[in-house]
Amino acid sequence: MSYLFTSESVSEGHPDKVSDQISDALLDNFLAFDPESKVACETLVTTGQVVLAGEVKSNTYLDVQNIARDVINKIGYTKGEYQFSGDSCGVISLIHEQSQDINQGVDRGSKEEQGAGDQGMMFGYATKETENYMPLALDISHKILQVLAELRREGSEIDYLRPDAKSQVTIEYSDDNVPQRIEAIVVSTQHDAFDADDEKMLAKIKSDIVSILIPRVKAQLPVGIQDLFDDQIVYHINPTGKFVIGGPHGDTGLTGRKIIVDTYGGKGAHGGGAFSGKDPSKVDRSAAYASRHVAKNLVAAGVSDEILVQVSYAIGVVEPTSIFVDTYGTANVDLTDGQIADKVAELFDMRPFAIEERLKLRNPIYLETAAYGHMGKEPKTVTKVFESPYNGRVEKQVELFTWEKLDMVDAVKTAFGL
C-alpha cells in the first residue's frame, strides 16, 4: 500500500520570512563589525510597520533602521500600493542589552569551555533520496518558489507577480519508501490587480504556473526526479482565488514561525527552537547546523540510507547532555543505533565553541540562510561588504553553508570500516 507525504515552502516575500531576513541581516552586521557579538533579534512586520526587539551584547552600534529598509527593498517591497515598502515603512527599535544572568553561563575564561546558550534539543536529518541529501518534497517546494522569484525579478514571461508566495508538494511513495510520482502541487502567489474578471485572472495565473514555472523547475532536477512529473498531477493554483493583498499588509510576520520550512519539511524531527536572529552561541542554531553536518556525512559515507541525529544541552554546560541516532532500520553497518551514536560522539566535537570553530559560525553568513531553507544548499565562498555610518566599511570573505560540506566522509568511513 503506497502512501503520501507533503512538505511546504514559503517565498522570501512571505511576512514571516521578511522578519527572518531582517533579523539575520542585523545579526550579520553585528558579526561583521564585532565577531564576538551576542545577538538575539526578533522582528515583527505588519502594515507599514517594522518592530525590532531582542537582546544584544556588542562593541558596535548599527543603524538598524537602514538595515531593515535595505532588506525589505531587496526582497521587492518597493511600491506604496503594497502597503508595505522599505522606503516608507516605520521602523521601531526596542533592542536592549543581553541579560548578565544568561551571559555568565556562556562566556568563560577559556573559549573552549564556553557553555551552551540555552537548554534544549536539536536535530539533524539526511536522506539519500536527493543529491543534496534533503527530503524530496521539501526540495521541490523550495525550488518552485526560487524559480518563481526569478520569474518575478525578470518580469518578462510573467509580469504581474508580487513578492508573497507559498508552495506545497505531495509525493506518492511505495511501501519501501521510494518516490513513485508527484500527486499534487499547490502554489499560491500574490499578484497585481487584473483588469479581467476573477475567473479569467485565475485561468491566466494557473496557465502560467503550469506551462512556464513548472518546466523551469523540472529542468533543474535530475532526470530520475523529472520522471515523477506526469500529466496526472493535481494542481491547486491560488485555490482561494484573488491574492492581491499579501505580504506584511495581508498577514503579520514574526521571526521564527517557519521552522519546519527552515529545516526538513516535516521529515525527521524538530526541537522547536528557531534560527534567525541568533548568534552561534545559541545552540538552537549552531547545534542544529552541526547535527545536519553529522547526518549528511554519515549518509554520504554509507553508514545508513537515512538518519536522524539529536543532540541536547543544558544552559551554561559545555558538554552535550546526550547524542541520539535513529537510522530508521536503514543502517549498512553491523552496529546498533546506540553504538553509531557513540562513534558520532568520538568523531564530532559537539561542544558549543568547537561547533563554532569547525563550521566557522562567527562570521556574517546568515542572511543567505533566511529564505528557502537553512539546509541543503551548496557550500561556497563569497565576499561580502558591510557599510556603517558608525563603523566604516568592512569587506569579508566568508564560507556559506559550511554544515553542508562533505568533509568528514573519509573519517566516517575509516571509523565505521566502510
**pLDDT tens digit string along 269-314?**
999 999 999 999 999 999 999 999 999 999 999 999 999 999 999 9
Q: Which pLDDT tens digit goes with each residue over 189-210?
A: 999 888 878 888 899 999 999 9
Least confident of 75-79, 367-371, 372-376: 75-79
Inter-CA distances, 84 with 19, 48, 77, Å? 13, 5, 6
278 assigned binding-site residue: yes
The confidence score (pLDDT) of residue 143 equals: 98
User: What does the mean pLDDT of the chain come to?
Assistant: 94
128 assigned binding-site residue: no
Segment 384-394 shows an average pLDDT of: 92
pLDDT confidence tier of residue 100, bands split at 50, 70 and 90: low
CA distance 63 to 91: 11
Q: Express as a percent the part of the chain with pLDDT over 90.
A: 85
Count how many Cα atoms sit within 13 Å of the Cα of residue 417 in the half-sphere of its side chain.
5
Segment 82-94 shows an average pLDDT of: 93
111 assigned binding-site residue: no
The CATH T-level fold of domain 120-128+282-416 is GMP Synthetase; Chain A, domain 3 (3.30.300)
104 assigned binding-site residue: no
251 assigned binding-site residue: yes
> How many other β-carbons are positioned within 10 Å of the β-carbon of residue 179?
18
Segment 328-344 shows an average pLDDT of: 97
282 assigned binding-site residue: yes
Count how many Cα atoms sit within 13 Å of the Cα of residue 376 in the half-sphere of its side chain.
28
CA distance 399 to 76: 26
Q: What is the enclosing helix (H) or strand (E) of 182?
A: strand 179-191
Q: Which pLDDT tens digit goes with each residue over 147-187?
A: 999 999 998 999 999 999 999 999 999 999 999 999 999 99
pLDDT confidence tier of residue 99, bands split at 50, 70 and 90: low
User: At residue 347, what are phi and psi to the nearest 5 degrees?
Assistant: -80, -35
pLDDT: which is higher, 174 or 119 = 174
Cβ contact 289:361 at 8 Å:
yes
The confidence score (pLDDT) of residue 68 equals: 97
The confidence score (pLDDT) of residue 109 equals: 57
Q: Which three cell numbers, joined as nine digits, stand for 303?
A: 553508514
Among 70-74, 107-111, 244-248, name the most confident range.
70-74
Segment 211-225 shows an average pLDDT of: 96
Secondary structure of residue 168 in the 3-state scheme: strand
- The residues facing 395 across adjacent strands are 385
User: At residue 394, what are phi and psi to the nearest 5 degrees?
Assistant: -125, 130
pLDDT confidence tier of residue 250, bands split at 50, 70 and 90: confident
CA distance 92 to 249: 17
The confidence score (pLDDT) of residue 195 equals: 82
Q: Which residue has the cell 500527486?
A: 183
343 assigned binding-site residue: no
Q: Hey, do 3-10+136-246 and 120-128+282-416 end up sharing a CATH topology, with the first three levels equal? A: yes
100 assigned binding-site residue: no
165 assigned binding-site residue: yes
pLDDT for residue 125 is more than 80: yes
The confidence score (pLDDT) of residue 103 equals: 53
Least confident of 19-33, 136-150, 225-239, 240-254: 240-254
- What torsion, rounded to 10 degrees, do the Cα atoms 41, 45, 49, 53 define? -20
pTM equals 0.95
203 assigned binding-site residue: no
Among 111-120, 359-368, 387-396, name the most confident range.
359-368
CA distance 92 to 78: 19
The confidence score (pLDDT) of residue 316 equals: 87
Domain ranges of the chain: 3-10+136-246, 120-128+282-416
146 assigned binding-site residue: no
Segment 49-70 shows an average pLDDT of: 95
- What torsion, rounded to 10 degrees, do the Cα atoms 218, 223, 224, 230 define? 50
pLDDT for residue 110 is more than 80: no
42 assigned binding-site residue: yes
pLDDT for residue 108 is more than 80: no
DSSP 237-303: ESTTS---S-HHHHS-EETTS-HHHHTTTTSS---S---TTB-TTSHHHHHHHHHHHHHHHHHHHTS
Cβ contact 188:243 at 8 Å:
yes
CA distance 398 to 375: 17
For the chain, the first-to-last Cα distance in angstroms comes to 34
279 assigned binding-site residue: no
Q: Which residues of 305-343 are buried (b: 16+ CB within 10 A; e: fewer)?
A: bbbbbbbbbeebebebeebbbbbeeebebebebeebbeb
CA distance 322 to 317: 12
CATH of domain 3-10+136-246: 3.30.300.10
Q: Which pLDDT tens digit goes with each residue over 341-365?
A: 999 999 999 999 999 999 999 999 9
The dihedral region occupied by 116, where left means phi > 0, alpha psi between -120 and 50, and beta the remainder, is beta
242 assigned binding-site residue: yes
258 assigned binding-site residue: yes
292 assigned binding-site residue: no
The confidence score (pLDDT) of residue 278 equals: 97
Cβ neighbours for 102, distance < 8 A, ≥ 6 positions apart: 55, 117, 315
